[in-house]
Amino acid sequence: MVFSSVVFLFVFLPLVLLFYYITPKKAKNAVLLIVSLIFYAWGEPIYVLLMIGSTVAAYIFGLLIGRFKEEGRLKRAKASLAGALVFHLGCLTLFKYANFFIDNLNNWFNIDISTLDWALPIGISFYTFQILSYLIDVYCGRVKVQKNWINLAAYVALFPQLIAGPIVRYETVESELSKRQESIDLFAQGVRRFVAGLGKKVLIANTVGELYTMVHNLDASKQSVLMLWMASIAYTLQIYYDFSGYSDMAIGLGKMFGFHFLENFNYPYISVSITEFWRRWHISLSSWFRDYLYIPLGGNRRGKLIQYRNIFIVWFLTGFWHGAAWNFIVWGLYFCVLLIIEKLGFSNLLKRIPLFFQHIYTIFLVIISWTIFAANSMSECFVTLKGMFCMEGLPICNDLTVYYMTSYGILFAAACIGATPLLKRFYVEHITTRPVNLPMRYQVRENHLEFVGATREEIAGRNRNIIREIVELIAIFAVLLLSIAYLVSASFNPFLYFRF
Amino acid sequence: MKNKIITFGFVMILSSFLLAVIVLPDREYSSMENRYLNQKPEFTWKEFLNGEYMKAVEDYLSDQVLFKDALVTIKSDAEKMLAKQESNGVYFGENGYYVKDYNPDQDKYKRNLEFIKEFVDKYKDEYNMAFLLAPNVQGIYDELVPENAAIKDGKEDIKTAKEYLKDISFIDPTWDLKQHDNEYLYFRTDHHWTMRGAYYAYAAICRELGLDAMDISDYDSQMVSDEFYGSLYSKAPLSSVKEDSLEVFFNPKGRYQVVFEDGTKMNSLFARSNLYTKDKYTYFLDGNHSFITIRSNSASGKRALVFKDSYSHALLPFLADNYSSMDVVDLRYYRDNLDELINNGKYDQIFFIYNLDFITSDDNFVWLQG
């Protein structure tokens, strides 16, 4: 099931909220577990068994590692962890990468191994990484073993972050799994966040994404250089709004159930370097690779050469994590090269040019990266890139390009502004309210106290607050209603993460 | 306080949609969208395991959602506000006109023309034949279409047809319609022309074939409806829509009988009761039928056979005055033997009356092969 569907909004979510809040505290995690399994089974009625299997394995491995550590038998603990890694990464490889390897082997050696005719289980990359974070943290002693199987299973399957992230680490929710406090204030925060994310996905990502699909379905004779650039920018906007929208919805839903997940995006497109971009984009993934791969490999403490090797491994795998296809690997290595170049001193050079050009440099490279990412194959990717750089003989501009510009201009402009913190800053400064308690002020006058009350400014401040509250309410419900309108009449509502 | 409103408002909105689906009876048909709506799917393990069931539930809920028509209108309004110039296959034109996208598949178009030509070659020695190819709204008013939009006006395509059908009378009424382009020739919200537009095409036929045509002012004209929301409106409903009106021309001396394929009869060219349905264009000749016979008190004694699409429905009422009897075939639905029909019919004239959008996209011209 996806959040941006009628089934989720009008059937699943209201019923889940009802069951969750009428259930006594002790059984709430069980409710979350059951509804999460239903949520997953709705999209993957067969692979839900695989997820259950993985969870059972994670529970047992966790117990083993914990027991051996407690008994001081570190070798066995290490062996258990190794076993767990083999099992979980094995599942991931088998279900996600097997066909990729078979295809390439067939290609290289001209042989004919038949491919497996099973589809990729949605979300497997996300929940496998969550499980690994738990097991590795248990081994390293960063978290305690979860002895309650319901709690662990609820953590793995928790539907808000199950299929499109963020990758919530066990340590983030460890304490909240056993003890958390739901409240109306937190719930309302969750609603704000969820509605914002829904709007980002349905109103912006889907609509700009339409343009990308339209342009790439066009006959080459109707394309132009500018149009291809527009399409790439459209995809750049689409993937940000879609992905961060999902994260917002996940964080918001988490709050409705009393959880606090970490932020996953921090305005990545305002970055002034690729290094900064990756500190702001899909934070839960890059920090996962940093903490569970880069640092254990030695990070930057074992000499430059080892460091570059580590960067290479991390970015090769980051690319590969996004999908079992060459263009994802190329995409990862593309960033690997850029990051190493920046590390080699280019970033110092960069800091000396005007800020504007730093932004241009970054967003330009990011747009190119998404062009690689969005392509269905390497050959398609080359054709598009050559087209964008005037090497396919396309006209610079044509009538249809102008038409698309007028049709999508406003949406693009709005989406660009929305990808910066401007809107948020405006919201915080002009819409959110700080509680204003009108003071009871007295003044000493001769021999008695005289009631003075609030100043005119203070009263005006309170009145302004009331207006702001009304504006915020209208904004939230307008976005919700508009998103619903777009959803029920939508023909274009893609799920981008089926390859992750 | 605010947080309470947000929390309860959110929960109430979602659950009222849920309650509405549970409590309210499901709608079967949407006259707005002119289609049958998805009904509650039956649960089977097979369909559950292959995912069909989940898709069916999503389709069912999207169709049955509370205030669906209003929600769709909100969406088109929002798109229009964002300066999007098309939605769901229609362009938002000038002056409240909707324009249906037109980018025909040339191969299919030529295939259709081949079918027609084959048929024409078979019968042209025995019968007088005439082909009326009606342009669509952008063929007359090219300024309606958003600038630079990838939609064709169809002029080239009319030339193609003319080339294929040069052996028979080929009538392109574009010039006649353009002479009157300040009049109400096409509906704003529907993909058809008005009866007034059809009249000028009829006049072109008469000129070409040497038939007598009454002057348009000699008909009794009447506005039978002023709230027609057509098929293009349904695709992208805007709240700022300018609804259409339905102008009808009656020959005061004409007497008519229409016999439908099932034997039912109507002593008028117009189905009055259809003015109370959404698709008011079906007022003309009761909309689509596989086969009808139109008899009139015309003194000509002549018989005609007509192959047609729905553009003809507004035109045939005029042509009925020139022929005592017309057999009208809709190839989309007619499955009886055509040779037999033609050989038994003693026709003086065979007509083809089609609009460009239809003839370039329909799949049923293959039935002309018999």
Percentage of chain B lying above the pLDDT 90 cut: 70
| Predicted local confidence at residue A115, as pLDDT | 79
Give counts: helices (H), strands (E), chain A.
23, 2
Q: Say how far apart CA A461 and CA B321 lie, in whole Å.
A: 79
**Is B14 part of the contact surface with chain A (CB cutoff 8 Å)?**
yes
Residue to mutate among A488, A491, A493, with most B CBs inside 10 A, is A488
Percentage of chain A lying above the pLDDT 90 cut: 64
C-alpha dist (Å) from residue B22 to A9, A20, A160, B18, B41: 15, 21, 26, 6, 14
Percentage of chain A lying above the pLDDT 70 cut: 96
Partners of residue B58 in chain A, C-beta under 8 Å: 5-7
Partners of residue B79 in chain A, C-beta under 8 Å: 207
| Predicted local confidence at residue B68, as pLDDT | 85
Closest CB to A17: pick one of B11, B62, B76: B11
pLDDT in tens, B39-89: 888 888 888 888 889 888 988 888 888 888 888 899 999 988 888 888 888
Say whether A322 is catalytic: yes
A11 contacts B10? CB cut-off 8 A:
no
ipTM of the complex: 0.85
pLDDT higher than threshold 80 for residue B34: no
Residues 6+ apart with CB under 8 A from B76: A489, B87, B88, B236, B237, B238
pLDDT in tens, B321-348: 999 999 999 999 999 899 999 988 889 9
**Is A98 part of the contact surface with chain B (CB cutoff 8 Å)?**
no
C-alpha dist (Å) from residue B178 to A97, A373, B84, B173: 63, 51, 29, 9
Q: Kindly report the average pLDDT of chain B as a whole number.
A: 92
| Predicted local confidence at residue A418, as pLDDT | 92
pLDDT higher than threshold 70 for residue A498: no
| Predicted local confidence at residue A458, as pLDDT | 75
**Is A459 part of the contact surface with chain B (CB cutoff 8 Å)?**
no
pLDDT bin (cut points 50, 70, 90) of residue A494 is low
pLDDT bin (cut points 50, 70, 90) of residue A488 is confident
Q: Say how far apart CA B255 and CA A437 lie, in whole Å.
A: 84
| Predicted local confidence at residue A437, as pLDDT | 66
* Min Cα–Cα distance to chain A from B117, Å: 30
A188 contacts B3? CB cut-off 8 A:
yes
pLDDT higher than threshold 60 for residue A492: no
- Give the total residue count for chain B: 370
Partners of residue A488 in chain B, C-beta under 8 Å: 62, 65, 68, 71-72
Residue to mutate among B1, B4, B5, B6, with most A CBs inside 10 A, is B6
B84 contacts A408? CB cut-off 8 A:
yes
pLDDT in tens, A348-365: 888 899 999 999 999 999
| Predicted local confidence at residue B146, as pLDDT | 86
**Is A24 part of the contact surface with chain B (CB cutoff 8 Å)?**
no
| Predicted local confidence at residue A436, as pLDDT | 62
Residue to mutate among A6, A18, A44, with most B CBs inside 10 A, is A6
Residues 6+ apart with CB under 8 A from A325: A100, A377, A499
Q: Say how far apart CA B86 and CA B79 lie, in whole Å.
A: 8
Distance of CA B42 to the CA centre of its chain: 35
Token pair of A12, please? 């699943």
Token pair of A339, please? 């990051």
* Rounded average pLDDT over B220-238: 92
Domain boundaries, chain B: 2-95, 105-369
**Among candidates B281, B254, B285, which has minimal Cα distance to B271?**
B285
| Predicted local confidence at residue B32, as pLDDT | 77
Interface of A with B in 206-225 (CB under 8 A): 207, 222
A10 contacts B18? CB cut-off 8 A:
yes
Residues 6+ apart with CB under 8 A from B48: A45, B54
pLDDT bin (cut points 50, 70, 90) of residue B12 is very high
C-alpha dist (Å) from residue B17 to A95, A315, B8, B61, B283: 38, 45, 14, 10, 36
C-alpha dist (Å) from residue B165 to B116, B119, B133, B134, B316: 8, 11, 11, 15, 22
- pTM confidence score: 0.86
pLDDT in tens, A271-291: 999 999 999 999 999 999 999
